[in-house]
Chains A and B, each alone.
Chain A
Amino acid sequence: MNWNFWLIQTFNGISYGALLFLVGSGLSLIFGVMRIVNLSHGSYFLLGGYVALSVIWTTGSWLLAIPVAAIAIGAVGLVMERVFLRPLGFDPLRQVLLTVGFAFLFQQAALDLWSGNNFDINPPDVLSQSIAVGGVYLPLYRVFMIATAAAIGIALWLAMEKTRMGAAVRATVDDAEMARGVGIDTSRISMLIFALGAFLAALGGVIGGAFLGIYPGLDFEMLPLAFAVVIIGGMGSLGGAAIGALAVGLADNFGKALILAIKPTGLFGRE
């Protein structure tokens, strides 16, 4: 295993982590602000991909699909929070179960609306190429994923640190009661954060769709990964989500590569 090999693996791990950051940051924010374990987060990821597909099928524009899908699912998140989650008040268990109930409903609806065929999102040709850098081939799409996640991450960080709204969000994450005491409208913040979380997840779905495919079952496959990001990175922290995502992405990649390198027959195989 030479330098090239580890370089490629690192790059792959980072690009996978970029995708996980999109999915996990939303979940982390939702948990930090609302203390809700959103088990329908994977559904937003998948629905984002499906909506993007529909946009691409009707308009042929991949570029348009990205914001349309993200905003559409963000709106779904908004409605979910206002109509279903808010009336439950602060009851973590029932909120979790509600999100699960909706996850099942979303899954069935997606099947009925888009059929169960395995789809692929095809980005423009320019992104499907690879650039050769010193003997290794770096797929441009992975570079794109990293760039997008970084851009979103910076935008979010700026919003959190430099705007009043961001300050209000951070206050709510730290101590919701105190925030309310100071006059912050925490319920409005909750609504916006939930919508933002759904927005980010859907964005992840569109971008990830070209990388993972769009198919039934993807929602529940992404869920444990998103949770791993949040648990490792700490809940409610953007920086934590970034670190968590990177950690999970790299570990996933290196873990498998290492297992292959050390024990080619795999963890449970026999010689």
Chain B
Amino acid sequence: MTSTLTRRLGLLLGGGIALGLNATAGAEELRIGYVAPTTGIFAQVGKDMVDGFQMYLDEVKNDFGGAQVKFIVEDEQAKPDTAVTKAKKLILQDKVHMLVGGLLASSGYALAPVSTAEKVLYVVPVSAADDLTQRDLAKYPYLIRTGWSSSQPSHPFGQWACEQGYKKIAAIGADYAFGYEVVGGFQRAFEACGGQIVQKIWPPLGTKDFGPYIPTIRADADAIFSLMVGPMSLQFPKQLAASGNKKPVIGGGTSYDEFVLPSMGDEVIGHVSTLQYSAALQNPKNEAFVKAYRAKYGKVPSYYSETNYTSAQMIHQVMKQNNGKFPGAEAFIKQLAAAKYDTLRGPVTIDEMRNPVQNIYIKKVEKKKMFGYDKDELWNTVIKTYPNVNQFGQFKKEEFLATPVYNRDYPPCKFCN
């Protein structure tokens, strides 16, 4: 039957490409398939992602160590099944050497099995779902992350919170997996050094009116830890301030990331958060990046742009090692995981579970002028750096993996009321 024959041919061809046996490449072309939401409600984030990657490509004139990069962007519309369809199109029709991208955790979880089934490299710059490189790692041998895992910054942050003298903290986070993981990581770390999480509030994703929640925040908490995303990040600090809050506010990286920071007001000055990047990082690479990005795209880059820029750089470095010839998915992953990178977010390496090991920055919101821009703006000034943080932080990998993935009820709230 023709279907079996076609299938055999397809496998052969696919296998051939994967093993790099296709020697008739000529001026080598590296086809990178990029999946991001370019329409729909996440279109701006998708645009930032693509812009970040594209900016790096423009800087090296699409030349990755001798290979010409063909950058094909497909719209996943923030729908997981569309992401799968587009990924298959990129793999089967465009014959890309690697897949990059995916925004939401659901997209990451949708694309990962495709990479396994089609034996195609999948580089993950944004999707931070913990288990992709933890308990589910074995299912996805072709996946490698160049961004972060949700709880990665929270572990040192919990430590930092103890150092500030906070004893009791009330946590409020968006009610979905990402929220659970960021808050969970913080709780584990904070309680490990003697702190107590006395409350966990979970407003549903998309909440804009925090009226029902803010008055319930425990009066005896020393500080408030918030994990907000998108529009929630804008509204929560405003409403918190309007309710007369005097407690210090700290939070996850997305609560104050540069994607939302420009639209925030003075109520967030002094708020502290944590992430592997801040646009206010004082190093020459980052300064050049922020200036160039603003000149080209009219805004300060957020971590969505930075992580894609850095991912492009990492891919470039590996391609250079191979003189522009794509060495096949398995070899590429090995090399990508083995190399050391000097990026604009600092030094980066990859751990044995294919997640980055990198600096985690504790940053505080300040209003000032930076990088030669003549207006006062809100910036996430770095106040402390924790170097070489991996996804398990200060905890042992085996113990960590023996416990369940962070969810609504884990770690359990021992000190709640």
Contact = CB atoms under 8 A, between A and B. Distances in A.
Give yes or no for direct A-B contact (beta carbon below 8 Å).
yes
A16 B39 contact: no
Contact of A120 (B209, B242, B264): B264
Contacts of B47: 115-116
Contacts of B263: 117-120, 213
Classify chain B's interface size: 35 or more
A13 B210 CA distance: 11
A120 B262 CA distance: 10
Contact of B235 (A15, A128, A213): A213
A211 B235 contact: yes
Contacts of B409: 265, 269-271
Nearest to B204: A256
Nearest to A5: B215
Contacts of A79: none
Contact of B41 (A130, A215, A260): A215
Contacts of B242: 128-130, 137, 139, 141
Given A211-B235, A260-B201, A269-B409, A130 B244 contact: yes
Contact of A16 (B201, B209, B238, B416): B209
Contacts of B243: 130, 137, 139
Interface string B368-400: 000000000000000000000000000000000
A13 B211 contact: yes
A268 B211 CA distance: 21
A252 to B, nearest CB: 8
B335 interface: no
A161 to B, nearest CB: 32
A8 interface: yes
Nearest to B45: A116
Interface string B154-196: 0000000000000000000001000000000000000000000
A12 B212 contact: yes
Given A212-B209, A257-B212, A266-B202, A118 B234 contact: yes
Interface of B: 39-45, 47, 175, 201-203, 206, 208-209, 211-213, 215-216, 230-231, 233-235, 238-239, 242-244, 259-260, 262-265, 299, 408-409, 416-417
9 contacts: A12-B209, A13-B211, A116-B45, A117-B44, A137-B242, A139-B242, A218-B231, A260-B212, A261-B216
Q: Rank and list the top 8 A-B pairs by shortest CB-CB distance, nearest first.
A: A116-B44, A12-B211, A217-B41, A137-B244, A139-B242, A256-B212, A212-B208, A213-B231
